[in-house]
Amino acid sequence: MAGQQLAPYKADFLKSAIDGGVLKFGSFELKSKRISPYFFNAGDFYRADLLQAISFAYAKAVIEARESGTLGEFDIVFGPAYKGIPLATATTDKLAQLDPKTYGQICYSFDRKEAKDHGEGGNIVGAPLKGKRVLIVDDVITAGTAKREAIAKIQKEGGVVAGIVVALDRMEKLPHPEGDDSNKPMPSALGELKKEYGIPIFAILTLDDIIEGMKGLASEEDIRRTEEYRAKYKATD
């Protein structure tokens, strides 16, 4: 593999995503109306071996971020409904397996799309968030809207957001008000969230990682098209 090699857990995660059809190459229209040569759907990690692969990758990314000082301490892993729910629960379990001394008592929570008005009621399922440091686990950051909603819910419950970890950073600039043909530099949604909230936000894989890791796993044509897409839409941060 040319250039800087991926960490083994990242390379294994990327291979699992490609082999399992979670990361697909072709032509995909995004919400932004851009035509992307690749598409990542964390909802496709529904098979046991794939769930093990993604939960291990999330847990390793979190542990590395803690060890490097990128991420501080946290009490609860939070998964925004719906895709974030299995990601948060599986990551909590894997963290406890990999480092029971540090994470053996870590908790998880997730939200409901609509508040429950009977039984225990409320918007949150799992550990109460009040007074706790909360790590958000989700699949990708597109426009950042869903993450802002999750942050608002956590803060409303009295929690403090410690950071956000996602599976993929597309490194893609936000659409320009004048249209993508303006060729003006624009930040990414991830970069904007970092500035807005002042919290650590990191990903298991970036688009750069995918392009590097595709070598030997995808066709030359898919690699070329993905590189061209990066050149056209890469954000300033």
pLDDT (0 to 100) of residue 2: 42
Q: Report the phi/psi class of residue 33: left, alpha or beta, with left for phi > 0 and alpha for psi in -120 to 50.
A: left
Give residue for tokens 């990066």: 230
Residue 156 included in any domain: yes
Has residue 160 been placed in a domain? yes
Q: Which residues contact 117 (CB under 8 A, 6 or more apart)?
A: none
Question: What's the mean pLDDT in 9-32?
Answer: 93
- What is the rounded distance in angstroms from the CA atom of residue 75 to the CA atom of residue 50? 26
Can you give the residue range of the structural domain that contains 76?
Answer: 8-233
- Residues with Cβ within 8 Å of residue 48, at least 6 apart in sequence: none
2 inside domain: no
Radius of gyration of the CA atoms of the chain, in A: 18
Report the 10 Å Cβ neighbour count for 162: 21
Q: What is the pTM of this model?
A: 0.90
Q: Which long-range contacts (CB under 8 A, 24 or more apart) does 116-121 make?
A: none
pLDDT at 5: 82
CB 77 within 8 A of CB 135: yes
- Lowest-confidence region among 37-41, 171-175, 225-229: 171-175
| Position 142 confidence tier, pLDDT thresholds 50, 70, 90 | confident
Helices (H), the chain: 8-19, 48-68, 84-98, 100-103, 145-156, 189-197, 207-214, 220-233
Q: Give the chain's length.
A: 237
Contact 31, 142 (CB under 8 A): yes
- In the set 116, 156, 184, 215, the catalytic residue is 116
Candidate list 31, 113, 118, 195, residue with the active-site label = 118
| Domain annotation covers residue 213 | yes
The predicted structure's pLDDT at residue 44: 92
Q: What pLDDT, on the 0 to 100 scale, is given for residue 121?
A: 52
Residue 92's pLDDT band, with cuts at 50, 70 and 90, is very high
Side-chain-side CA neighbours of residue 139 (13 Å): 20
Tokens at 163, concatenated:
């950071």
Q: Per-residue pLDDT tens for 57-85? A: 999 999 999 999 999 999 999 999 989 99
Please tell me whether residue 138 adopts helix, strand or coil conformation: strand
Q: 1 in a domain, yes or no?
A: no
What is the total count of domains within the chain? 1
| CATH number of 67's domain | 3.40.50.2020
* Per-residue pLDDT tens over the stretch 94-140: 999 999 999 999 999 999 876 655 445 578 999 999 999 999 999 98
Q: Lowest-pLDDT range, 30-34, 54-58, 124-128, 150-154?
A: 30-34
pLDDT of 112 reads 84
Contact 107, 127 (CB under 8 A): yes
- Percent of all residues in the chain with a pLDDT value above 90, rounded to a whole number: 72
- Let me know if residue 3 belongs to a domain: no
Q: Are strands 76-79 and 133-140 parallel, antiparallel or unpaired?
A: parallel
- Give the per-residue pLDDT at 145: 85
145 to 151, 188, 190: CA distances (angstroms): 10, 13, 11
- Which tokens in the block code for residue 115? 């508040």
d(CA 24, CA 133): 35
Q: Is residue 226 part of a domain?
A: yes
Q: Is 118 a catalytic residue?
A: yes
pLDDT value, residue 117: 53
For the stretch 188-217, pLDDT in tens is 989 999 999 999 999 999 999 999 998 888
> Which residue would you say has higher pLDDT here, 73 or 145?
73
Q: What tokens were used for 237? A: 């941060």
- Report the alpha-carbon distance of residue 124 to residue 153 in Å, rounded: 9
- Whether 112 maps to a domain, the answer reads yes
Which pLDDT belongs to residue 4?
A: 60
